[in-house]
Amino acid sequence: MGDASVKTALVMGATGGIGAAFVERLLARDGLERLHCCSRSGASPTDDSRVTSHVADYDKPETIDALGTAMKSEDLDLVIIATGLLHAGDDLGPEKAMRALNSDDMHRVFHVNTFGPALMMKALLPAMSRDEKSVFAALSARVGSISDNGIGGWYSYRSAKAALNQMLKTASIEHARRWPEGIVVGLHPGTVDTGLSEPFQRNVADGKLFTPDFAAGAMLDVLDGLSSSDTGKVFAWDGAPIPA
């Protein structure tokens, strides 16, 4: 894709730890002309004149529909979905054992990690630019890989990310029929120093806890290097494919 080929981009979760870093990295690119920043609050992360802010809230699906309508003729070159949910303080946390499973928490985790991004695919894939490379990327996680699951635990988050990966793969097949240059992928950012990982950082090896800026830069390099044969896959921050 190269820096200059991304003219119009959209970041969903623009006020999150990694999402805000994507916003900064994209604005630092020479060729960028327009950046749509989407979040629950609709807050503008910067007064840069290239930025337009939108409210997009998975708890209010009508905001996702409205975003899709607003983007209809935007010819988006790049969409990044940087939303996700692993814990909510004392209210919700990843299950260590089966006995911790309960219906409400499972719904909440799937709502943010799977259903919301799937509705964003439905709203935004029709707005991707058609005759040149375009990329729709959603933040997944390595723990969503079924074949890589060696230690168990984190039932809902793992499963919600595995389901997200399947949503992306399925959409990649349908999207390619009309957007042959269109790429739909999942991304694993590494372990990144944000509110989402904060309670789980104790056992991270030295040098393996990334800043949001490093992770966003690395993932943009991965997206720049993708071609249409990569669609439907999940890639880590270093470009290594993650098995299903």
Ligand X SMILES: NC(=O)c1ccc[n+]([C@@H]2O[C@H](COP(=O)([O-])OP(=O)(O)OC[C@H]3O[C@@H](n4cnc5c(N)ncnc54)[C@H](OP(=O)(O)O)[C@@H]3O)[C@@H](O)[C@H]2O)c1
Map tokens 């949910």 to a residue.
85
DSSP states of 148-181: T--S---HHHHHHHHHHHHHHHHHHHHHHHH-TT
Lay out the site mask for ligand X across 187-226 (x = CB under 6 A, - = otherwise): -xx-xx-xxxx-----------------------------
Is residue 79 part of the contact set for ligand X (CB under 6 A)? Answer: no
Q: What does the alpha-carbon distance between residue 58 and residue 164 come to, in Å, rounded to a whole number?
A: 15
Is residue 16 part of the contact set for ligand X (CB under 6 A)? Answer: yes
Shortest Å, Cβ 54 to ligand X: 12
Map tokens 């079924």 to a residue.
146
Q: Which of residues 136-155 bind ligand X (CB under 6 A)?
A: 139, 141
Q: Which is nearer to ligand X, 17 or 182 (CB)?
A: 17
Q: Which of residues 37-66 bind ligand X (CB under 6 A)?
A: 39-41, 57-59
Amino acid occupying residue 214: F
**b/e burial code for range 109-141 (CB count within 10 A of at least 16 → b):** bbebbbbbbbbbbebbbebbbeeebbbbbbbbb
Q: Which is nearer to ligand X, 85 or 129 (CB)?
A: 85
Shortest Å, Cβ 160 to ligand X: 9
Shortest Å, Cβ 19 to ligand X: 5
Q: What does the alpha-carbon distance between residue 193 and residue 200 come to, in Å, rounded to a whole number?
A: 10
Could you give the strand order of the β-sheet that contains 234-236, starting from the edge strand earlier in sequence? 51-55, 34-39, 8-12, 78-81, 134-139, 182-188, 234-236
Beta-carbon-side half-sphere exposure of residue 185 (alpha carbons within 13 Å): 30
Q: Which is nearer to ligand X, 128 or 139 (CB)?
A: 139
Q: Which of 19, 45, 186, 232 binds ligand X (CB under 6 A)?
A: 19
Is residue 182 part of the contact set for ligand X (CB under 6 A)? Answer: no
Shortest Å, Cβ 48 to ligand X: 19
Size of the site for ligand X (CB under 6 A): 28
C-alpha triplet 178, 237, 239: angle, nearest 5°: 65
Report the interface residues with ligand X, using CB under 6 A: 13, 15-19, 39-41, 57-59, 82-85, 112, 116, 139, 141, 188-189, 191-192, 194-197
